[in-house]
Structure 1
């Protein structure tokens, strides 16, 4: 029993004593002994119960061991280095919540402005070209409708255009404004927007006359926020013909500080529709005077087309200032007609580029009305439209009376 727990030996000893007591004969002494034994048994029973409660889990666990030995208190867990079969599975972690940043910036104001709203507002305009009339105002301007012909800032009839110019998600407005400048008008294509309070404000000038061009005739925009301007090298006025102007489309883009050209031609160059007519001669030979004092005369002129364009018809301007053409020249000048806006009273067959031809005109001249006359050769196309000349000076000669 040396390998039995001491607490168990005490229990067995108590059991033997109790058994012996029951066998002894009864009497007062036996009664006292029995009472003492019962008290001791009660105390031992309590102690044994407590020990049993403490030892039972250890004994039960030892029964599960292969060698039947009891584990020491330090061996209540899994042996070191042996994976535990009772480790709980890890709790799946929740997927990370995306870091969504909600913009608190207010939306850009809507810059779509109607014609009526633009005419009703007061706006600041970019500067007009130097030398413009003082009435072409730029500060706190109330734009006038295009029907105004005096020297004030007007909103032209060119259609307003709308697109997102500055990539802020809102629309802006492009308008063509003008102010009369002599016989023509200064013009500028201007971008307008609204501020946070809804007031109309000026972004910048897109392009204006005096910047390598003399006219702006139309405008367009793209979905990418670009502005397209139709520009011309001439702004027709006075006796100029509208078809003389060369027109181009140029594209402009907002840079954050202003507009810059991003596409299209940057200059006009020589008009490819024009040619160089050279007029020589000019000698006027007069005959004897008639009863009315007028004298017959012949005027010889030579025209050379130096090119590069063929001429459909050649006209002679201001010839009527020398004298009246006779019917003998009907084969040269057809049809007979009054001088047109170019001063041409005679049109004849055309000249190819590089071709030369000499003409002799028969005139009835009043010597008293000859006041240093001159004649000019004029280029006409097949639609009877007259054109300017590449070198204006050499297509004119002074008429010289030689007899």
Structure 2
């Protein structure tokens, strides 16, 4: 039978052993999960010891209050042993105890972190999508976004995320990359030594959607809610946030990672977003005419890759000075460009509409009065109406260079 004292000693030994293991465990998500499990195990052991003591103490106390049993009949009564000193037997007095040293390390702070805490320490940032160019790993966060790759705290909330009875900190991180920055929500905690460690990544922005995370909120049951938006990229014409579709999605910690438990998982078609692309064929000048000028045809195709129709689109042709429109191909434009310019200005053309999934090919005649060769540029943009504004947030395929000679 295990004595109460053995249970207490076992619990103390378990706590001592865990303290030694803390000194060799590396910081990081694995260490955090191990610490959480150890805290729960330690709580169970100590609770068991307390129950055992609660049962054992009354038993010992009752035994002390009962008188000893009488000896059997005929048993001789032992004679008292005389004192060798000749005087009364002295009872040993307890030595005065020295007060316990107060040089004990204070308990490690919990996982409730401030923005200042995060900026003042090196933290472990989970990886971003490779194409963003944002760094991951151990680093210092920035107070503000100034240079490419800077990462800052854009929002935070607190709550018991992993169910260990302590508070953790859910942080919205934003990185500066190009014209817009990717975002992700990460939960940070402290280990038993007070170091800031990463519990795990809750969710991160993606391509094509959601392109941005807007806010984070921790519920009393430990659910981490993240507000996401399908589109939030700055474009040439701007993208007001009210044009974006926004959702709240909830995530719970399952002991190893965060899994979505509430909210939508996809977005529907955004009625303000149209994805246009353009392809262009090289331009070749014909032989000189009677006036010494040369003409050619620029062939380009605009494609609407979205399921949202465009009420129109703009095409701009950029070439060197001295080249201008020629022929009837420009009649497709609602407002044809002016005659040849000597300043090298662009040749604009507004066309429309363009149905969802449809393509349209333009054959635009050009004329030059002197032999010329080089590289030109075609730029395409979607056109909306005041009642139904449109924008193209996917601009990577809206500009194409071409050669002419």
TM-score normalised by the chain length of structure 2: 0.49
Query: Radius of gyration: which is bigger?
Result: 1
TM-score normalised by the chain length of structure 1: 0.49
